[in-house]
């Protein structure tokens, strides 16, 4: 079966058709579990779509390999945070049930089944597709049995000089209990026979692989017959494990990897200093409770059971894999070899005409609002804005929020420069940006040492808004300029993530941003904001109002349409509002990269809602909201996804794109996503996604390629 776009549709659904009569619609219970998808299972679906890119031959071969590794990285975080959270709920009797009605135990059972299937598929793709195709390109991962004499000698020398001095084998006996192993570290369990120098017969040892050593090493060309030849650290340790236990017989050496709970829990009630409390918690992240055990598939059952017992895990948390247990570290592959022909072609981000050859970026912003779409358009103007502000004697103050940036970024260097030049510089740093906490602590220290006023936002509410406010002394008084974004102030991410940057000198808008900074750095009642919507105060209610307004327009026979692009949709109230709008006849397109808990296409409930996810070269990250509004469209960019955490428990901003040409441009770019027929996946009512394919005779249309051609310089 296909829909009007030629997309395949499932022939069966576990959601029954619903009576469309007015009375029946009024009686539909929109809280029914049948209309919602579980958050964690939707998250797994997203990870699976990422893995599927590894077999898509439209991507270059090395990038396909990277998708396979990215899937591992995503799955690591899924276990560290989401699975760990479910297990924590069960352990402490704090089970919560979402709109889908599944209990934590039921969710874990589903995760168990689905994840084992997907991991098995991942290694099948690695071993049967990617490695053979790389070998055809003279890129080889040499097993021990494949080493020639020169290579074996080189490995022996490498082991002696690079591995042996830093490795630390640990025999297990009463005086050497099982060691505490760091989260996600590569380790080996070794079977031994014989007595050591002290007469001990332990029979078993643990060998942690030093984290400082690369997991993948390139053989020198002079010991190979052409091509790129690589060897795993695990192979070298396997080969020379006997050197770690001289005089003993190594009967077997098997790699394993433990994943632990890595979520941070800060008790706000008795916390006096957020930075100090966070530093303390970071130390415990490496040794949280075990949630998953990965082992080589040739590991004997008795050793597997020993490890499971040691970590208090069951068979459900065990993953036997045919290959390296730490595929994430293979992302370094493209740096070890020089094969640009197997990677995406390079491109030069473009610049809008408003910024071409403009030395004074403030003059350009005063002239008209500026909108950039990264990575197709350059992130450099954002950096230049801060650099120019730092050096401009007319600039008196700079304020900025920082979520994921990096202590060594050019933006941070500009803030440091501005502070040293005597300007008033304030940075609102979100220390709790997950997995960037340590880097943000370092960032805070660097800025404070330069004289920047550093605040950590509001305890209990992550500051996720992306804002820069610059105050400049000009003729007639102070003039303020703002930058608002949908993504992070990270130049590296700006080459990989799709995000909008918006720069303006609109008086009402800059006043709103100023008030939000006041709320973040000071104390007092919530201030009245004119143009921006901001969480946790008005954003949630305004989104509901805008959705309801479209429903009202549709019921009155006026034009009504909703087009939303976000990363995740989990908020129950928003989903119910979308259901009601669909029932009223509003056509709704949702472009949601990751988690979507709403079931589309249910007659009488969501038959007017389509959901698609786009996965490709760039990580889709823009958050954009479009409402038809009876022929008077309104467009917003935002830092917020439609999740409870964003709309209720974070500081977020949502800004209007009021310039007519810019708003029309955003709508055109969103329409490209609806035209895509090769990167987009359509969500079915039962929760599965189906990859869109060109219809017979139809040309391939890639939204990302179209935006590259439209906006980039090359």
- Whether 325 has a pLDDT exceeding 70, the answer reads yes
> For the residues 302-321, what does the mean pLDDT come to?
95
3-state secondary structure of 327: helix
Taking residues 144-166, report their average pLDDT.
96
Mean pLDDT to the nearest integer, 280-297: 78
Average pLDDT over residues 485-511: 94
Residue 456 domain-assigned (yes or no): yes
Q: Model confidence over 425-464: pLDDT tens digits?
A: 999 988 766 666 677 778 888 888 989 999 987 878 889 9
The pLDDT of 337-345, averaged and rounded, is 95
Side-chain-facing half-sphere of 643: CA atoms under 13 Å = 19
One domain for residues 428 and 384: yes
pLDDT per residue over 224-262, tens digit each?
Answer: 999 999 999 999 999 999 999 988 889 999 999 999 998
The confidence band for 353, taking pLDDT boundaries of 50, 70 and 90, is confident
Residue range 72-131, pLDDT digits in tens: 999 999 999 999 999 989 988 888 899 999 999 999 999 999 999 999 999 999 999 999
More confident residue, 24 or 437: 437
Q: Are residues 233 and 313 in the same domain?
A: yes
Q: Residue 612's closest CA among 677, 550, 548, 561? A: 677
pLDDT at residue 3 above 70?
no
What's the average model confidence in pLDDT over 634-661? 96
In a domain, 674, yes or no: yes
Give the model's pLDDT for residue 434: 67
pLDDT reported for residue 200: 59
The confidence score (pLDDT) of residue 265 equals 59
Return the pLDDT at 8. 39
Catalytic residue among 59, 240, 464, 553: 464
Is the same domain home to 654 and 596?
yes
**Top-confidence range, 17-31, 52-66, 161-175, 523-537:** 52-66
Both tokens of 97, joined, read 């049930």
Q: Which residues constitute the domain of residue 323?
A: 149-342
Residue 12 has a pLDDT of 34
The pair of three-digit structure tokens given for residue 502, joined into one six-digit string:
């918006």
What local confidence, expressed as pLDDT, does residue 270 receive? Answer: 45
3-state SS, residue 552: helix
Stretch 540-557: mean pLDDT: 97
Q: Are residues 242 and 382 in the same domain?
A: no
pLDDT surpasses 90 at 218: yes
- On whether residue 500 sits in a domain, the answer given is yes
Helix, strand, or coil here: 527? coil
Looking at the fold, whether 520 and 544 belong to one and the same domain comes out as no
Q: Which two tokens stand for residue 474?
A: 């000009």
Is 24 a residue whose pLDDT tops 60? Answer: no
Q: Is residue 100 part of a domain?
A: no
Q: Which residue has the higher pLDDT, 17 or 346?
A: 346
Residue 277 has pLDDT above 70, yes or no: no
For residue 499, pLDDT over 80 is answered with yes
Confidence at residue 525, expressed as pLDDT on a 0 to 100 scale: 78
- Both structure tokens of 69: 């590794």
pLDDT confidence band for 25 (50 / 70 / 90): low
- Give the pLDDT band (50/70/90) at residue 713: confident
User: 467 and 407, same structural domain?
Assistant: yes
The confidence band for 27, taking pLDDT boundaries of 50, 70 and 90, is confident
Residue 4: predicted pLDDT: 36
Q: Is the pLDDT of residue 6 over 50?
A: no
Do 407 and 299 have their domain in common? no
The pLDDT confidence band at residue 9, using thresholds 50, 70 and 90, is very low
- Looking at the fold, whether 364 and 319 belong to one and the same domain comes out as no
Do 507 and 606 lie in a common domain?
Answer: no
Give the C-alpha distances (Å, rounded to integers) separating 280 from 267, 283, 401, 629.
12, 6, 24, 50
Closest CA to 398 of 468, 474, 477: 468
Domain identity same for 384 and 325: no
The percent of residues in the chain predicted with pLDDT above 70, rounded, is 90
CATH number at 387 reads 3.30.870.10
**Position 295 confidence tier, pLDDT thresholds 50, 70, 90:** very high
505 lies in some domain: yes
Whether residues 513 and 559 share a domain: the answer is no
3-state secondary structure of 373: strand
CA-based nearest residue to 499, from 616, 621, 662: 621
Mean pLDDT, range 573-589, rounded to an integer: 98
Interatomic CA distance for residues 76 and 95, integer angstroms: 23
464 among known catalytic residues: yes
Q: Where does a domain end: 505, 528, 551?
A: 528
Taking all residues of the chain, what is their mean pLDDT, rounded to a whole number?
90
Residue 39 lies in a domain: no
In this predicted structure, the answer to whether residue 11 has a pLDDT above a threshold of 50 is: no
Give how many domains the chain has, as a whole number: 3
Residue 469, SS3 per DSSP = strand
pLDDT at residue 271 greater than cutoff 50: no
- Residue whose structure tokens are 């401009």: 392
Select from 95, 53, 98, 96 the least CA-distant residue to 74.
53
Residues in the annotated binding site for ATP? 74, 497, 593, 621
Q: If you average pLDDT over residues 499-507, what whole number do you get?
A: 97
Q: Between the CA atoms of 663, 669, 675 and 678, what dihedral angle is there, to the nearest 10 degrees?
A: -160
Mean pLDDT of 15-24: 46
User: Per residue in 39-61, pLDDT tens?
Assistant: 999 999 999 999 999 999 999 99
Of 289, 309, 342, the position where a domain reaches its end is: 342
Least confident of 109-118, 194-203, 499-508: 194-203
Cα separation, 516 vs 514, whole angstroms:
5
The confidence score (pLDDT) of residue 135 equals 97
Given the DSSP bridges, would you call strands 318-321 and 290-296 parallel, antiparallel or unpaired? parallel
Q: What is the DSSP string of 205-262?
A: EEEEPPTTS-SEEEPPGGGSSSSEEEEEHHHHHHHTGGGGSTTSEEEEEEEEEEEE--
Residue 120 belongs to some domain of the structure = no
Mean pLDDT value across residues 555-567: 97
Q: Could you tell me if 453 and 332 lie in one domain? A: no
Cβ pair 422, 395 in contact under 8 A = no
Picking from 528, 562, 585, the residue at the C-terminal end of a domain is 528
User: Cβ of 182: how many Cβ atoms within 10 Å?
Assistant: 15
Could you tell me the CATH number of the domain that includes residue 318?
Answer: 3.30.1840.10
Q: Is residue 155 part of a domain?
A: yes
């Amino acid at each position: 079966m296909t829909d009007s776009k030629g997309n395949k549709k499932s022939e069966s659904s576990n959601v029954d058709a619903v009576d469309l009569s007015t009375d029946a619609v009024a009686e539909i219970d929109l809280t029914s579990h049948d209309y919602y998808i579980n958050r964690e299972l939707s998250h797994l679906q997203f990870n699976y779509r990422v893995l599927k890119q590894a077999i898509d031959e439209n991507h270059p071969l090395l990038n396909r390999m990277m998708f396979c590794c990215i899937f591992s990285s995503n799955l690591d975080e899924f276990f560290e945070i989401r699975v760990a959270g479910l297990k924590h709920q069960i352990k402490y009797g704090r089970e919560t049930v979402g709109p889908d009605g599944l209990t934590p135990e039921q969710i874990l059972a589903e995760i168990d089944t689905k994840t084992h299937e997907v991991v098995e598929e991942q290694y099948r793709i690695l071993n049967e597709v990617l490695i053979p195709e790389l070998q055809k390109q003279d890129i080889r991962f040499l097993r021990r049995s494949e080493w020639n004499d020169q290579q074996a000698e080189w490995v022996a020398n490498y082991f002696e000089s690079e591995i042996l001095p830093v490795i630390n084998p640990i025999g297990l006996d009463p005086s050497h209990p099982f060691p505490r192993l760091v989260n996600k570290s590569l380790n080996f369990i070794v079977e031994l026979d014989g007595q050591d120098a002290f007469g001990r017969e332990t029979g078993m040892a643990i060998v942690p692989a030093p984290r400082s050593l690369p997991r993948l090493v390139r053989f020198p060309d002079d010991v190979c017959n052409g091509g790129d030849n690589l060897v795993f650290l695990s192979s070298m340790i396997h080969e020379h494990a006997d050197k770690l236990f001289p005089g003993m017989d190594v009967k077997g050496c098997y790699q394993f990897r433990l994943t632990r709970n890595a979520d941070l829990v800060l008790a706000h009630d008795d916390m006096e200093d957020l930075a100090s409390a966070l530093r303390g918690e970071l130390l415990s992240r490496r040794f949280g409770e075990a949630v998953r055990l990965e082992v080589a598939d040739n590991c004997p059952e008795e050793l597997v059971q020993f490890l499971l017992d040691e970590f208090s895990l069951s068979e459900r948390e065990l993953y036997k894999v045919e290959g390296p247990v730490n595929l994430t570290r293979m992302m370094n592959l493209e740096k070890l070899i020089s094969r640009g022909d197997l990677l995406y072609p390079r491109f030069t981000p473009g610049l809008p005409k408003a910024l071409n050859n403009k030395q004074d970026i403030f003059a350009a912003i005063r002239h008209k609002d500026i909108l950039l779409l990264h990575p197709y358009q350059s992130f450099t103007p954002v950096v230049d804005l801060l650099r120019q502000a730092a050096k401009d004697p007319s600039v008196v103050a700079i304020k900025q929020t920082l979520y994921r940036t990096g202590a060594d970024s050019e933006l941070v260097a500009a803030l440091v420069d501005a502070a040293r030049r005597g300007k008033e510089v304030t940075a609102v740093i979100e220390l709790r940006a997950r997995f960037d906490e340590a880097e943000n602590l370092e960032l805070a220290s660097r800025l404070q040492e330069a004289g920047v006023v550093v605040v950590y936002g509001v305890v209990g509410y992550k500051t996720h808004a992306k804002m820069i406010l610059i105050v400049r002394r000009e003729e007639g008084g102070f003039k303020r300029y703002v930058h608002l974004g949908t993504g992070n102030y990270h130049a590296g991410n700006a080459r990989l993530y799709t995000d909008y940057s918006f720069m303006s000198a609109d008086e009402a808008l800059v006043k709103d941003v100023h008030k939000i900074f006041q709320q973040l750095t000071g104390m007092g009642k919530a201030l009245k904001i004119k143009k921006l919507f901001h969480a946790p105060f008005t954003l949630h209610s305004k989104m509901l109002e805008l959705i309801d307004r479209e429903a009202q327009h549709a019921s009155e026979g006026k034009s009504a349409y909703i087009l939303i692009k976000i990363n995740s949709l989990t908020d129950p109230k928003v989903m119910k509002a979308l259901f009601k709008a669909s029932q009223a006849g509003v056509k709704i397109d949702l472009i949601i990269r990751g988690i979507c808990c709403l079931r589309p296409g249910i007659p009488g409930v969501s038959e007017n809602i389509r959901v698609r996810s786009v996965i490709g070269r760039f990580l889709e990250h823009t958050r954009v909201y479009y409402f038809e509004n009876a022929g008077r469209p309104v467009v917003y960019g935002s830092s917020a996804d439609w999740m409870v955490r964003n709309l209720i428990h974070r500081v977020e901003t949502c800004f209007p794109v009021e310039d007519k040409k810019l708003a029309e441009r955003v709508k055109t770019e969103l329409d490209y996503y609806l035209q895509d027929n090769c990167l987009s996946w359509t969500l079915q009512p039962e929760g599965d996604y189906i990859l869109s394919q060109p219809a017979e005779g139809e040309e391939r249309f890639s939204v990302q390629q179209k935006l590259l051609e439209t906006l980039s310089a090359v």
